[in-house]
Amino acid sequence: MFEITLPDGKHIDSNLNESWLDFIKREIGAGLAKSAVAVSINDRLVDVSEPVQSGEMKVVTLKSPEGLNIVRHSAAHIMADAVTQIFPDTKVTIGPSIETGFYYDFDSPHRFSESDFETIEKKMAEIIKANIPFKRKVVSKEEAIELFSKMGETYKIELIEEINEPTVSLYFHGDFVDLCRGPHLPDTGFVKTFKLLSVAGAYWRGDEKNKMLQRLYATAFNSKNDLEQYLKMVEEAKERDHRKLGKELDLFEFSEDIGQGLVLWTPNGGIVRTVIENFWKKEHYRNGYELIYTPHIGRSKLWETSGHLDFYKEGMYSPMDIDGEDYYAKPMNCPFHIVLYKRKKWSYREFPFRWAELGTVYRYEKSGTLNGLKRVRGFTQDDAHLFCTMEQLEQEITRVLNFSIYMLKSFDFSSYKLYLSTRPESDFVGEVSVWDKAEEALEATLKKSGLEWELNKGDGAFYGPKIDILVTDSIGREWQLSTIQVDFNLPERFDLSYIGEDGQEHRPIMIHRALLGSIERFFGVLIEHFKGAFPVWLAPVQVALLTVADRHVETAQKLEKKFLKKGIRVKIDDRNEKIGYKIREWSMEKVPYILVLGDAEASLDKIPVRERGGKQISFEVDEFIEKINNENSGGVYF
């Protein structure tokens, strides 16, 4: 007898030996059965062809996020089938669905390129049109290894050998078979629209010591309109790529002479960074923080105490021998801030402490994962650590959250999604009662904020719960920037204490906090958000002065001097070039204001201002200066 509970709470008893698809047709309706692509039973997704079992069930359709994920996972199998039919010497490895679509990694003597996409897509369309059923089969590991051995699929054998179960599941459609947990669509015809996007290199299992494979990226959607909208966004993202714009606008550079993942900030990029950091410092002082500075390296004993050498050594660079001792480049600032805390015994009356640092850290990232400014090996963290009592925790979390939102809004990010990650089921440090109090403080703050938030139950780090803030950029992409993390681990490891109201020693609560993340990654996101057209207060050059002829250089120099005295960033272009050519060049530089100076402007009574976008307005000089200072968000940060 099976006891099945529907989403509306209705209970159905059945003793029929039937599939979920038959159950849905009989008990719920033929219409829903037609659109069902899977079933969630006790929060586990299974194929609609699987036999009925007891539990809480929900029908998964194409319209749900789970359904789209299954479409993409099935499309990955279809792509692998198409590729191996066209290029028979190709070996398949893994092909998961991802947030934006799916990919499959191949070991093939054929060098894939975009010129192959049309051929592969045509073969995929044939497979989809044939409505071939996906069939699941559970076999012993030995049987699976024998099957893939005959096929020469050595990568599949390696994966099977590492599975700690006596059986594995295989999925067939037509002559194609793959090792997979599933679930999958009822048949290939459920894939509505798809598109191959790009090809890239990827090491087998992400290890640089392994063979380089070829990764085909693709996407699938449930409607043509959704696909078209996504492809438009992809094209727009290419135009906004910070690596492309960084080169065009001369904002930053990487050099093989220095090393991968190490950023060189050009004068243009350096100005923007300075503006960001000066704004950051000013706002931190206003919000009750004290700024500190710490070294770039530390003795091995520090990293042993913090646990980094036990848990994070692969992300750290090899030690330097200094006076017979090992020193490591710091991957994090936290231990240094803790050492500053330990310099004396504190009283509860002195709490809370809010210590902030723009601290540069160094972490080893595999070369294949490096991605412009968004994934580097040396970066500056927008870092801070707060020390407070448990009674002060909710108040401090509220202050940090409000400060985070203020900072993000200042950079034109106005859409947020927040996530609360709570205690893992096992392998955590600290008392459960302390976790509960911390989680209650974080949740209370989120509820009072009025912002949209979700609970990620059990997804917290082993050392404490946290709040993550995701922002949406100007083309709808989400970026995780701010994090507010409670830490029960480091105060214990470093034996931190303070004297409480009762005269006894107590353990302080430590909060890690980043508002912008890292300056490098934040700058990369900012470039793409604004498409390189920074608002006036962030623009490396705010005003370009273009001379028509040599006799107008003196006028430009007078204006330059006046602007510089008022803190306005200005450049003179007195090259012997046609004025139309100069205007085009500075427009490509995305400068907010261009001033063309000829005979009529020599008196400086009125100056013609060409705004970014082409609109032209005349201003008196002082009026124009006031306009720019107003656009500098109420203050000059450079």
Q: How far apart are CA 189 and CA 193, in angstroms?
A: 10
Residues pairing with 234 in the sheet: none
Both tokens of 168, joined, read 């594995």
Total Cβ atoms within 10 A of residue 3? 12
Residue 19 per-residue DSSP state = B
Out of 337, 354, 377, 512, the active site residue is: 512
Q: Where are the alpha helices (DSSP H) in 287-341?
A: 300-306, 308-311, 334-341
Q: How far apart are CA 572 and CA 552, in angstroms?
A: 11
For 65, residues 6+ apart whose C-beta sits below 8 A from its C-beta are none
- Nearest one of 485, 483, 484, 418 to 451, comparing CA atoms: 418
Host H or E run for residue 355: strand 353-362
| AA letter at 638 | F
Determine the length of the chain. 638
184 noted as active-site residue? no
Whether 158 and 144 have beta carbons less than 8 Å apart is answered as no
Q: How far apart are CA 620 and CA 627, in angstroms?
A: 11
Out of 180, 334, 382, 521, the active site residue is: 334
Phi, psi dihedral angles at 239 (to 5 degrees): -65, -30
Out of 385, 521, 529, 590, the active site residue is: 385
Q: How far apart are CA 445 and CA 453, in angstroms?
A: 11
Phi, psi dihedral angles at 173 (to 5 degrees): -140, 120
* Angle at 276 (CA atoms; ends 274, 279), nearest 5 degrees: 105
Total Cβ atoms within 10 A of residue 486? 27
Whether 348 and 389 have beta carbons less than 8 Å apart is answered as yes
260 noted as active-site residue? no
For residue 588, the Cα-to-chain-centroid distance in whole angstroms is: 29
Q: Sign (positive/negative) of CA torsion 44, 49, 53, 55?
A: positive
385 noted as active-site residue? yes
Q: How far apart are CA 39 and CA 60, in angstroms?
A: 5
81 noted as active-site residue? no
| AA letter at 590 | K
Q: How far apart are CA 95 and CA 133, in angstroms?
A: 19
Whether 534 and 479 have beta carbons less than 8 Å apart is answered as no
551 noted as active-site residue? no
Out of 215, 242, 377, 466, the active site residue is: 466
Q: How far apart are CA 233 and CA 602, in angstroms?
A: 47
Whether 137 and 169 have beta carbons less than 8 Å apart is answered as yes
String of b and e for 344-376 (b: at least 16 CB within 10 Å)? eebebeebbbbbbbbbbbbbeeeeeeeebbbbb
388 noted as active-site residue? no
Out of 81, 178, 383, 468, the active site residue is: 383
Out of 72, 240, 374, 381, the active site residue is: 381
For 257, residues 6+ apart whose C-beta sits below 8 A from its C-beta are none
Spell out the long-range contacts of 5-11 with Cβ–Cβ below 8 A and sequence spacing 24 or more.
5/55, 5/56, 5/57, 6/57, 7/56, 7/57, 7/58
242 noted as active-site residue? no
Q: How far apart are CA 112 and CA 119, in angstroms?
A: 11
Out of 363, 377, 521, 569, the active site residue is: 363
Both tokens of 194, joined, read 């798809």
What SS3 state is found at 124? Answer: helix
Catalytic residues: 334, 363, 381, 383, 385, 466, 512
